[in-house]
Amino acid sequence: MDNEISVIDYEAANIGSVLRMLEKAGGKPVRASTPAEISAARRIILPGVGAFDHGMSQLHKRGLVDALNDAALVRRIPVMGICLGMQLMCRGSEEGGLPGLGWMDASVEKFQFDAEDRLPVPHMGWNTVRLCKDNPLLPTIEDRTRFYFVHSYKVRCDREDDVIAKTHYGVDFDSVFSRGNLFGAQFHPEKSHRYGMQLLFNFLKHTVHA
C-alpha cells in the first residue's frame, strides 16, 4: 500500500502531532518544506495555526506557492487543509489583506457575536460536526461526532455542493469541504482522538491509488 503522505512544514504549524497521528492512522508521513519535495508528493496535508497573512507569507517566503498550485490544480493530487490550512485554500480572509491560494470558491469571515451572546472567540474545544452529504473523507464517521476546534475565523463556501459538514457555534459554519481532489477540515483531527485518526485513515485509504 502506497501510504506515504507529505505534510507541509512552513513554520506556521506545529506539525509534530500531525505526523504522529498520521503514523497511528497507518500512514508514512514525511515533512515537505521545499518546492522539490512538494513536486515529488503523492498526497499532501497542509496544516496551519495562527494568522492568515502570516501563513501565506511563509508559503511565499519559501517559494512553495507555485509547487502547491501545480500539485493541487495541475497534477491534481489529493490535498487536505487542516484549520488554517483549510482557510488558506480559500480566496482570502477578513483577518488579513493577502490573497489566499484560491483553490476553493470560499471566503473566511470572523466570528461576530453580540455581548449578550456570551460566546468567546476563539471558538475553542469540542464541538459536533453535522454531515451534509456523503464523502469519502467521512464514510465511517457518524453524524454529530465531536472534533476539537481552535479558531477565530470561519469558512463560508460559495457553493453549497462543496460543503460536506457544518458545525454550529452561535451560527452555522462550513467545517468540512471537498471538491474533487481538494479537502478541508476546520477542526484538528490530530487532536480529536480516535475520530480524528479515523478521518486521516479515510483520507489515506481514499487516495491510496491516486
Tens of pLDDT, residue by residue over 6-21, are 999 998 888 999 999 9
Q: Which of 54, 83, 95, 123 is catalytic?
A: 83
- Mean model confidence pLDDT for the chain: 94
Q: Which of 123, 132, 190, 209 is catalytic?
A: 190
pLDDT at 195: 95
83 pLDDT more than 80: yes
Q: Which of 5-14, 58-67, 91-100 has the lowest mean pLDDT?
A: 5-14
Task: Name, in order, each residue with C-beta under 8 angstroms of 114's C-beta and a sequence gap of 6 or more.
Answer: none
Confidence class for position 179, pLDDT limits 50, 70, 90: very high
Confidence class for position 37, pLDDT limits 50, 70, 90: very high
CA distance linking residue 96 with residue 12, whole number of Å: 15
Confidence class for position 209, pLDDT limits 50, 70, 90: very low
Task: Name, in order, each residue with C-beta under 8 angstroms of 139's C-beta and a sequence gap of 6 or more.
Answer: 202
β-pair type (44-46, 79-82): parallel
The answer to whether the beta carbons of residues 167 and 177 sit under 8 Å apart is no
pLDDT: is 80 or 209 the higher one?
80
Whether omega before 120 lies within 30 degrees of 0, making that bond cis, reads no
CA distance linking residue 143 with residue 174, whole number of Å: 15
The answer to whether the beta carbons of residues 184 and 176 sit under 8 Å apart is yes
Catalytic residue check, 54? no
210 pLDDT more than 60: no
Instruction: Copy the grid coordinates of residue 97.
Output: 489583506
Work out the number of other CB atoms within 10 angstroms of the CB of residue 194.
Answer: 9
171 pLDDT more than 60: yes
Give 166's strand partners.
Answer: 130, 174
Catalytic residue check, 83? yes
Whether omega before 122 lies within 30 degrees of 0, making that bond cis, reads yes
Catalytic residue check, 132? no
CA 82 to chain centre: 2
Q: Where are the beta strands (DSSP E) in the chain?
A: 4-8, 28-32, 44-46, 79-82, 106-110, 123-131, 145-151, 153-157, 163-169, 171-179, 182-185
